[in-house]
Amino acid sequence: MNYQGLVKRLNLPAGWKAPAELEYDDIRATAISRAHNHDDVQGINASIELIQRTRGGPWPTEPVTEDFNYVDEVWHECEFRDGNSFTYAVYDSHSHYLGCCYLYPMGGRTPLTEELVTYDVDVSWWVTPDAYERGYYPKVYAALRHWVETAFPFTKAYYSNAEIPDLPE
């Protein structure tokens, strides 16, 4: 079968609502909203090369403006509300902005293939250069694995970052 251009909807139980806040060790994730715009713009613009290397994909190609990112965050809010995707702003326990994480339907970020059609959700993330230097890239990955297994109804997650860190056994 040719899956080109197809996007699977997230299969969520009737009435299920995604958590607006998640915690794991010293990491806090909050459903992204317009209130995160300043932190997010600063984080994206400081992280373009790192995002391209670690997360991969076509975004970002250039710095974002406050206005452009505001529209993007409103879109993320609507997607979250409607259960079509879930985007979180990620902070440490001292309220330092670390980056973002995304739970998207398969085929939305990563092109759907016969191999990938069995996955429930496409999970990706990025962190700022400062957070990366402080070891948060693998920590956010560990947090995501925990959250996907405990706070979401997905049975098979695809972690689509270009750089997947090793986790301790």
pLDDT in tens, 94-138: 999 999 999 999 999 999 999 999 999 999 999 999 999 999 999
Q: How far apart are CA 48 and CA 51, in angstroms?
A: 5
* Reported confidence tier of residue 4, pLDDT bands at 50, 70, 90: confident
Asked whether the predicted pLDDT for residue 37 surpasses 70, the reply is: yes
| Confidence at residue 5, expressed as pLDDT on a 0 to 100 scale | 86
Q: How far apart are CA 148 and CA 27, in angstroms?
A: 15
Q: How far apart are CA 77 and CA 80, in angstroms?
A: 5
Higher pLDDT, 5 or 160: 160
Q: How far apart are CA 169 and CA 166, in angstroms?
A: 9
Asked whether the predicted pLDDT for residue 169 surpasses 80, the reply is: no
Domains and CATH numbers, the chain: 21-159 (3.40.630.30)
Between the CA of residue 77 and those of 47, 66, 145, 159, what are the distances in Å? 22, 16, 22, 22
Q: How far apart are CA 132 and CA 99, in angstroms?
A: 10
Average pLDDT, the chain: 96
Q: How far apart are CA 18 and CA 148, in angstroms?
A: 11
Q: How far apart are CA 14 and CA 37, in angstroms?
A: 31
Asked whether the predicted pLDDT for residue 18 surpasses 70, the reply is: yes
